Chains A and B, each alone.
Chain A
Amino acid sequence: MPNSRIKVPEQAKVGEQVEIRALIMHPMENGFNFDSQGTTIPVHIITDFVCAYDGAEVLRVQLQPGLSANPYFSFYLTATRTGPVDFTWTDQDGTITTNSAMLQVA
């Protein structure tokens, strides 16, 4: 499972906009590169990134080969209730990377 980094504030007030950040280690090969032998390096990308808050999906991104390596997302979430923020990255081969953090809402 590739390395991932996430940042979710530990605590938030009800209705507060909190910044969520997520970063994953991935080559995002676009299929246009060659190795030292001149052979094409096949496409190898993450196709989907999903963020769920307390079980409900809040963000879904479809990634394309044009993205640079180690994709980084930053977005805002409205805190409504205490719950886990789950992150899921799906590779084109079906490899799934997950990461999760708890958001305490008072």
Chain B
Amino acid sequence: MRTLAGLGLCLLATSSPAREPVRAQQAQSDYVYLSPALRTLQDDEFANPGMLWVDRGAQLWSEAAGPAGQSCQSCHGVASVSMRSAATRYPAWVPAMGRVINLEQQINRCRVARLKLTALDYESQDLLALTAYLSRQATGLPVAVRIDGPAAASFERGREFFYQRRGQLNLSCASCHEQHAGSRLGAETIPQGQINGFPVYRELWQTLGSTHRMFAWCNEAVRAEPYQPGSQAYVDLELFERWRGAGLRIETPAVRR
């Protein structure tokens, strides 16, 4: 009965976007659905392959580049201090941009404005490395994004995206990750699809991947046309997803199947 009532609530919440947001489920990191072998790999600070990108990110952080001859560190100082909690707050509303942007876009914004460099391509190794490095600084801190004020519209669009059925399979994100989290799909356990470990090292990809690559992958899996990584639709969804997993601890770089 309780599940039914919960389902009813979530349906109500979808049909009237103006309603106060209600979380449909108790947030759980996707870590709990991992096999013991992958958990061990993620917890091993040396062998976790994602740490290769974190190392690269540390280099990029401190290495002077571009015509300005400056590095990220020139302004921000030591990342473990100044960037300790930065990753927990993104995506966030940035008044100068007039929209909600995510961590990747903030890094690029800084690169272009301060370092006078060109923006890194979305999903490029260097952008992944910097994102992973910054997210790594926030390890263990709870995700805490703001969805009120100017970010509210973005949040609403993200929530609509999450509950919108799409693709030939006619599934929404919620169809699997909310209503069937923990159930089996073939040999796999369906996770909640929380993004507190991103960028993640995914076994399937054999490399680090961003939240947006995962969204695109998932959209393709339900035979829907994916959006571009870095598109506003995905940033909005990322904001909603972060809110959905608010309180979960950052565990970048996570290892996933």
Q: Which residues of A contact B (CB under 8 A)?
A: 3, 5, 7, 21, 23-25, 27-28, 68-70, 72, 74
Contacts and interface: CB of A to CB of B under 8 A. Distances in A.
Given A68-B206, A69-B207, A70-B206, A25 B47 contact: no
Interface in B150-208: 206-207
Given A25-B56, A27-B207, A70 B49 contact: yes
B55 interface: yes
Contacts of B47: 21, 23, 72, 74
B46 A21 contact: yes
B52 interface: yes
Contacts of B52: 3, 5, 23-25, 70
Nearest to B41: A72
Contacts of B51: 5, 23
Contacts of B56: 3, 25
Interface residues on chain B, size class: 10 to 19
Given A3-B55, A5-B52, A25-B49, 7 more contacts: A3-B56, A5-B51, A7-B46, A23-B47, A27-B206, A69-B207, A72-B49
Going nearest first, the 4 A-B pairs with the smallest beta carbon separation are A69-B206, A25-B52, A70-B49, A3-B52
Interface in B105-151: none
Interface string B198-233: 000000001100000000000000000000000000
Contacts of A27: 206-207
A5 B46 contact: yes
Interface of B: 46-47, 49, 51-53, 55-56, 206-207
A74 B47 CA distance: 9
B26 to A, nearest CB: 34
Contacts of B207: 27, 69-70
A23 to B, nearest CB: 6
A46 B196 CA distance: 33
A22 to B, nearest CB: 10
A3 B207 CA distance: 13
B49 A23 contact: yes
Contacts of B206: 27-28, 68-70
Contacts of A72: 47, 49
Contacts of A25: 49, 52-53, 56
A3 B206 CA distance: 16
Most central of A23, A24, A68, A74 by chain B CB within 10 Å:
A23
5 contacts: A3-B52, A23-B46, A25-B53, A27-B207, A72-B49
Nearest to A71: B49
Most central of B52, B55, B206, B207 by chain A CB within 10 Å:
B52
Contacts of A69: 49, 206-207
